[in-house]
Amino acid sequence: MATNSLLRSILTPHRLKISHFCSTTPSQNLWNLLRTIQSHPNPEQTLTKFGRTQTLDSSTISDALQRCSKTHQSILGLRFFIWAGIQPGYRHSTWMYNQACRILGIDQMRETLIRVLEAYKKEGCLVQVKTFKVILNLCREAKLADEALEVLRKMGEFNCRPDTTSFNLVIRLFCDKGDVEVCLELMNEMALIDLYPDMITYVSMIKGFCNAGRFEDGYGLLEVMRGHGCVPNVVAYSTLLDGVCKNGNLDRAMELLGEMENVGGVVCVAPNVVTYTSVIQSLCDVGRIGEALGILDRMKQRGCLPNRVTVSTLIKGLCNVGRVDEAYKLIDEVVSLWIGYKR
């Protein structure tokens, strides 16, 4: 009995230690590691060893970012997030980029993105194109156009060659703010390193011209696209048409819509329900309800079925001008169309 009691007293503490170790979560293991390496140069080396034995997921990464933020270790959290984004078998989602920007307050630490790159250089860290893409996507999510441009410029310092995707991201940020001159410079830089604009580049540029009120320049890009073998599609035309509508140039919008309907029968340019609804919305906003109903007739003639947004827009437009009876008739008409389509 004495021997058994002795054995129990020796073994029990060990059991407790083993049980405690096994109950440690991946998030806790990661946080313990981050606390250990927070003041180390090139912490990515140690993280890479950890990554070989642990599986990364959005929950674990989000938890680590929260802990870093609460302990005022946002720079460590940023470096960890960038490192995680280039690991094999894992890729940050758009939601994860949003989380990182919110938790770490990326929009409030703009200079930190550049400081991290400087730290990589000083510490001799391995930096690849994927590293820059993670940082650029953070800029995109935080809407940091100037910082994204600076990050793009620094790629050459690390012998990394930007690709079309990288340029597109920066071009889109500047187009969203209406600064198309920078975008044109970036397109020229692409040509200097044998990169060619793609559909995303051109659509962003068209939107940028529209944001700057330069509609004819945006229209001119459609011809430039054709010259470069990039045939304008419904997205390119609809982007231009939407920009024209938002700026109240409805007569020009009607011309563009007619061009889309008659551009040699090319299917990829045929207006879709979103295109038509955009024009209908703009016409209804200024009380041109008769023309809006005419657009609905054109839709039906071309076999383009109106959706709920189209119908609700027209109903609201009719009611706003006191044509309630016609709104009821429109509902019956569209319901019949939907029933016929389902059959």
CB 129 within 8 Å of CB 163 = yes
On average, the pLDDT of the chain sits at: 88
Name the band, by pLDDT with cuts 50, 70 and 90, for residue 343.
low
On the question of pLDDT at 139 being above 60, the answer is yes
Name the residue among 330, 309, 308 with its Cα closest to residue 319: 330
Amino acid at 126: L
Q: Identify the residue whose tokens are 């410079």.
A: 185
Please compute the mean of the pLDDT values over residues 201-227 and round it to a whole number: 93
Confidence at residue 219, expressed as pLDDT on a 0 to 100 scale: 93
Residue 54's pLDDT band, with cuts at 50, 70 and 90, is confident
Query: Using one digit for the tens of pLDDT, what is the confidence trace for 271-319?
Result: 999 999 999 999 999 999 999 999 999 998 888 999 999 999 999 999 9
Q: State yes or no: pLDDT of 188 exceeds 70.
A: yes
Check whether 256 has a pLDDT greater than 80: yes
Q: What confidence tier does 151 reach under pLDDT thresholds 50, 70, 90?
A: very high
Residue 339's pLDDT is 79
Q: Could you tell me the two tokens for 286? A: 């200024």
* Position 10 confidence tier, pLDDT thresholds 50, 70, 90: very low
Q: Which whole-number Å values give the CA distances from 202 to 37, 219, 321, in the listed order? A: 45, 11, 39
Per-residue pLDDT at 9: 46
pLDDT at 11: 44
For position 15, what pLDDT does the model report?
A: 40
What confidence category does residue 115 fall into, taking pLDDT thresholds of 50, 70 and 90? very high
pLDDT for residue 247 is more than 80: yes
Q: What percent of the chain has pLDDT over 90?
A: 66
Position 16 confidence tier, pLDDT thresholds 50, 70, 90:
very low
Q: What are phi and psi of 167, to 5 degrees?
A: -60, -40
pLDDT reported for residue 203 = 96
Question: Sign (positive/negative) of CA torsion 331, 332, 335, 340?
Answer: negative
265 pLDDT exceeds 70?
A: no
The confidence score (pLDDT) of residue 108 equals 86
251 residue type, one letter: D
Helical pair 308-320 and 324-342, crossing angle rounded to 10 deg: 170
Residues 163-271, CATH architecture: Alpha Horseshoe (1.25)
Where along the chain do its domains lie?
23-160, 163-271, 273-343
Higher pLDDT, 13 or 270: 270
The answer, yes or no, to whether residue 178 has pLDDT greater than 60, is yes
Q: Which of the two residues, 19 and 155, has the higher pLDDT score?
A: 155
* pLDDT band per the 50, 70, 90 thresholds, residue 324: very high
